[in-house]
Structure 1
Amino acid sequence: MSKFLLPLAAATVIVAPVATAQTNPDLAAVQRHLSGVESMTAAFSQTDRNNQVLTGTLTLKKPGKIRFQYQKGVPLLIVGDGKALTFIDYSVRQVQRWPIGNSPLGVLLDPKRDITRFAKIVPSNAPGVVSVEAYDPSRPQYGRITLVFARQANAPAGLMLQGWVALDSQGNRTTIRLTDQKFNVPVDDAAFRWTDPRRQGRAG
């Protein structure tokens, strides 16, 4: 599997509850945003620590469905079918799967997950930016993920998801930036099917 994609597809984030007397209002707004988004489409760019960039389109539908369709000429695909997150490399006919709950993307895909119990707001000098980090200091080997939002009145809960940063325990950073975000749009379940390269004609 490409090391470039590992933090995105496979880095497990197991987070411990954060003890707070009162939920931060920005964190509560992020929770409302995540709870209010049932589907999303967007264009994305993905950058690794060597500044290699791939682009493509993102399709999301709760619960548990997501698709990263990479640019033409890139033989890679990441698909979540509601249960597992699957990485497909068509160039070597390789397929790898992980439970969605063990992926940082579970934060975006599980409508029942309450992030106010395990995440924290990252301080920022930019008043229009809200960043939320999920990390378990007792399990640093699992890395961390930071979601980045911009305050925007017409977005769900007044927040526009701009992307996220996944950092694994070796310091490998993968940054996802989103543009042309559309929320709660019709998305057909067929968008999350894929062709298994190990057996021609077989679909996931």
Structure 2
Amino acid sequence: ESESKLQASEAKAQRLEQQLRERGKQEEMGELALKAKAERLEQQLRERSKQDELGELSLKESQHGREEALRALREQRDLLGNNQLLLQRGEAQLTKAVEQLQASTNQIAALQSQLATEREALAFVESKATQDERALRASEALRKEAEMRLQVVSLQDAQKLNASEAKLLREEQRTQAMAQRLNLEQNLEQGTLPALQVRLNSSLAMNRRL
């Protein structure tokens, strides 16, 4: 009976020892798992910190880019306003030139009517000059004088008309150039920052030529 109890005690001791070994292995595996998990969390934290730093840098660069774009847009709006004022002035000058040309045309028509009247008078004088040699010589002199006046007035009128037409043509070309430039700037208004810079340089060059 004592031997049986001893064997039972030894068996129980072996089972306890086996359980202790298994529990030790489980605890060791648990520690390894916890350590691995801690390392993964630490790695994730480092990666998250790196991503946060990159995100912060990207945000700063994006803010700087937006500030540059806003500044360029403000400058472009100011430039567009100046170009619109120049276009309005050009249109006013063109209207004035048209009015001057119309006045010159009316003046030329009046002079031509006056010359026609003088020609009729000259023809009448020439028809009457046959009655008297002295009157004939006088009418001949009057005719030559009238012809000279006609040539002088015609030359002056032609010069005035050419000058008015040349001035009108210059004003029209200038207004068309300004309108084309304004249209180009409005089409490029939604462009990128390099496109805005090209547009700004084009407008400044045009202003210097004007």
TM-score under structure 1 length normalisation:
0.22
Higher strand residue share:
1
Larger radius of gyration between Structure 1 and Structure 2: 2
Report the structure, 1 or 2, having the larger helix content.
2
